[in-house]
Structure 1
Amino acid sequence: MKQHVLIHKKTNKRLMLFEDRDFEMKNPIEHYGNQTIVKQMILNGISKEEINGDKELTAMNREIFRNALDHWLKLKGEFQKIKVPKNLIQLLKTNRKRDQEKLLDGFILTPEILTSFIFTAYHEFGYTLSQYSAEFSQKDLNTIKMPNAKIMDCGKHWHCFFTAFNSLRGEETRLGKKEGRLYYMSNVFGIDRVEVVKQIKSGGSKLGCLPYITLEPYGHSWEVF
C-alpha cells in the first residue's frame, strides 16, 4: 500500500491518499475497517512483515494495533451518526434515468456523507462495493494508480460514483470557481457495467456527458473513501 500527498487547490489542505488495490463486491464496512486499521499501522511505522503476519508484532506495535482498532471503531461510529440525505436513499429506489438526474441536480456532498451512504446502502439494502482504478500522470508525481470509481451492486442494479485526480484536488471549474466533482451513472443509463469498468480503467474518456455532484473538500474520511 503506497502513500501519496496531495494539496487541495481551494483549501490548501494537505491530503494523505493511499494507493489501494481494486476489489469487487465486498462488504464495504468490513473492507474499509481492515484498510483503515492497516493504514494507521503504516502511519505509525509498523513494518510490512508485521502487518502481513510474517513477523510477530512487538509489544509496542501490539499497542499501536489496539489503538488502530479503537480508531476505526470510533470512525465507524461517527459515520453511523451521519444522516444520509433522502435524495441518496431515493436514488436506490428509482429506476428512471431522468429521476436519478433530477435527484442529483445541484446536489452538494461531502466524502463523509458519501461514505455513510455506502455503508447504509450495504446495511439496509444489501449493496456490495467494488473499486476500480485508472492510471494518471501528474506534473509533480510519477504515474500512479489512483482509486477513482466506486460501484455499488445489488443484483442487476448498480450505481457508480466516479471521480478524477483533479477533482480530488478541487481543480474543476464551474462559473469561474474551483470545485471537486463526483460523476454518477447507473444501470439505467444504457451503459453495460462491463464497459463502464473498461472505460474507468482506461481513464473514462468515452463515458460521455454525465451528471455530477459537487464534492466538498475532504475532512477526515480520506482515510476511508
Structure 2
Amino acid sequence: MPRIYVIVGHYGTGKSEAAISLAVKRREEGHQVTLGDLDIVNVYFRSREKAEFLEEMGIEVVSSILGHHSSLDLPAISAQIRHSFFDGVSTVILDVGGDKAGTNALVMFKSDILSVGYEMIYTVNPFRPQTSDLQGLIHHLDGIEYVSGLKATGLAVTSHQLRETTPAHVMRGYELAAELAKKRDLPIKFIFALPEILTKLPEGLEGELVPVGMYLREEWM
C-alpha cells in the first residue's frame, strides 16, 4: 500500500469528499493517517472544515499555517505534512485544489513525494460540464500533470447526483473512467459512492470500493 495518495481533479468532481472518505476508510483499517489539505482555491468545500470530526477519529489534519478554521486561503501550508511524509508509518492523503491553479500548492512537495513514492489519483465525474467527456478529462489531467510535475498513477470514479445518485450514475462514471484508463494506460484504483449504492453495483468492477459519508455537507459536492 502506498504511503502518499495525491487526490486531484477538476472543480466539483467530489475530490475533497473522496479524500476524506479514503482517510476514514484507511483509519478504520487501523492505519495511522494524515490528511493534508492543499485546497487553497475552493473556499467552500475544504477538508479542513471537518478537522475536529476527523481528529476525534484519530486522523491528523494538516492545513494552512493560519489554522483549520481560517477563511483565508493563502499558499502557506504547514511543514507538518513533510514530517508525516518521512515518519515511516503515516498514510498521507493530500487533498489538492481543483485544476492547474490549485495544483500549484503541490509543487513545493514534489521532490519529497517523489522520494517517498506516491499514487496520484485523478477523479472522474461525468456530471461536471468540463469533464463530461474523454476530451475534457484529458485536457484537465494534462494541465495538472504539467503544473505539478507528477504523473497520475490511477483513476477514481466519483460520479454522483447528490442524494439522487443511482447505480446507473456511478456506472456512467465508471465507463468514462474505463475509456480514460485505456487511453492513458492507467488503472481504475477507486470507486467512491454512498454505501447503499456500492452494494448495488455489478460484481467484478476494477477498483477498491470506498463508501462516501458526505462529510463536508449534507449533499455531496
TM bucket (normalised to shorter chain) is under 0.3
Bigger radius of gyration among the two: 1
Q: Output the TM-score relative to the length of structure 2.
A: 0.27
**Higher share of residues assigned strand:** 1
Q: Output the TM-score relative to the length of structure 1.
A: 0.27
